[in-house]
Amino acid sequence: MRFFLVPLILIGWPLAEIAGFVLVGRALGLWATLGLVIGTAVLGAVLLRSQGMHILRQISTEGREGRMPARTLIDAAMIVVAGILLLLPGFITDIIGLALFIPFVRGLLWSLIGRRIVVVRSPGSTSYRYDGGRPAPEGRKPGPVVDLDEQDFHRNPNSPPPNSSSPWAGPRSGEP
């Protein structure tokens, strides 16, 4: 996103929400408008709880079967965002929040942004690294990832000593 769009969104979004309140308030009246705002907040909390429990069971099932629950985790994140949007007062956030609860919309959104996200995990690690799909710097071609275990890599005894302030400078062979 371009930097100049951020101030426009920060100013435009609340103004659009206020305009939505005015339009709905004129059409339905004050109490109906307040009822809608409170109703969507309650609906968001209920949907977040029910959908959240369903997603947690699905993640647990996929984890027990040894599969990576990547799509399920993305669905869970979108459901949390949808619940938060429904809890916020405003009709635009409510429309976006309700749309995110629809599986088809989540699938469409994932198909748009999923190509830009890469999940990388080495076999022995418990953490994941997310690579936003950025192109390689100029002069470097993207290539295969080489994953070395500790027994696959040994420091050359004739090489100069490592910089001790470097986080990659581990103990040399024979050192504790």
Is the pLDDT assigned to residue 16 strictly greater than 70? yes
Q: Measure the CA–CA gap between 176 and 165, rounded to whole angstroms.
A: 17
Q: How far is CA 10 from the centre of its chain?
A: 21
Per the model's pLDDT, the better-predicted residue between 1 and 163 turns out to be 163
Q: For residue range 106-137, list pLDDT tens digits in order.
A: 888 888 877 777 666 556 555 544 444 555 55
Contact between 99 and 84 (Cβ < 8 Å): no
Lowest mean pLDDT among 4-18, 41-55, 79-93, 111-125: 111-125
Q: Measure the CA–CA gap between 74 and 111, rounded to whole angstroms.
A: 11
Q: Measure the CA–CA gap between 38 and 45, rounded to whole angstroms.
A: 11
Q: What percent of the chain has pLDDT over 90?
A: 9
Find the helix or strand (DSSP H, E) in which 6 lies.
helix 5-28
Q: Measure the CA–CA gap between 81 and 162, rounded to whole angstroms.
A: 46
Beta bridge partners of 120: 129
Q: Measure the CA–CA gap between 29 and 31, rounded to whole angstroms.
A: 6
Q: For residue range 36-68, list pLDDT tens digits in order.
A: 989 888 888 888 888 878 888 888 888 788 777
| Token pair in block for residue 94 | 């409510």
Q: What pLDDT score does 31 carry?
A: 92
CA dihedral 85, 88, 94, 99 (to 10 degrees): 10
Q: What pLDDT score does 27 carry?
A: 92
The model's confidence at residue 155, banded by pLDDT at 50, 70 and 90, is low
Contact between 44 and 87 (Cβ < 8 Å): yes
Q: At what angle do helices 5-28 and 30-64 cross, to 10 degrees?
A: 120
Lowest mean pLDDT among 8-12, 86-90, 121-125: 121-125
Find the helix or strand (DSSP H, E) in which 82 lies.
helix 70-87
Question: DSSP labels for 38-51?
Answer: HHHHHHHHHHHHHH
